């Protein structure tokens, strides 16, 4: 199962349980594929100065922002979705810690749908 597949499975199950879920896409790049940009620069060195002026963009989400958020009954939970053997980055763990400690939200890392359910219900499956 891919991380994307797991995210969709989690969203579906939480939706069945009455949660609003949201997936945050995080990324950066050019308006064309980065590999294509590199190939154009290599093939047309005379255009490099012009090509270097093409804006590079990043999405508005903060570094470490969790993949999913789930909201129900006035409570927000953040879920970082991973598949083995992948592990969350330090920035992702810091985001979860800040959301829990500073803002009182739920949050954690989910390697399965059951993990996500445990996160939103505070460790007790419902």
Q: Tally Cβ neighbours within 10 Å of residue 6.
A: 21
The highest-level CATH class for domain 1-26+63-126 is alpha beta
pLDDT (tens, 9 = 90+) of the chain, 126 residues, equals 899 999 999 999 999 999 999 998 777 777 777 788 888 888 988 888 887 788 777 777 888 999 999 999 999 999 999 999 999 999 999 999 999 999 999 999 999 999 999 999 986 555
Domain ranges for the chain, please list them: 1-26+63-126, 27-60
* pTM of this structure: 0.77
- Predicted local distance difference test score (pLDDT) of residue 103: 96
- Predicted local distance difference test score (pLDDT) of residue 52: 79
Which stretches within the chain are classed as H helix?
Answer: 3-16, 34-43, 48-51, 90-101, 113-120
- Predicted local distance difference test score (pLDDT) of residue 51: 79
């Amino acid at each position: 199962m891919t991380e994307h597949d797991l995210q969709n499975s989690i969203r579906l199950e939480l939706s069945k349980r009455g949660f609003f879920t949201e997936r945050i896409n995080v990324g950066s790049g050019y308006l064309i594929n980065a590999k294509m940009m590199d190939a154009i620069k290599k093939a047309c060195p005379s255009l490099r100065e012009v090509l270097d002026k093409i804006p590079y963009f990043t999405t508005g989400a903060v570094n470490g922002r969790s993949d999913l958020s789930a909201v129900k009954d006035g409570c927000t939970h953040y879920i970082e979705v991973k598949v083995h053997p992948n592990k969350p980055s330090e920035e992702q763990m810091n985001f979860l810690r800040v959301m829990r400690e500073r803002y009182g939200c739920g949050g954690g890392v989910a390697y399965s749908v059951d993990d996500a359910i445990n996160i939103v219900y505070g460790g007790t499956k419902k």
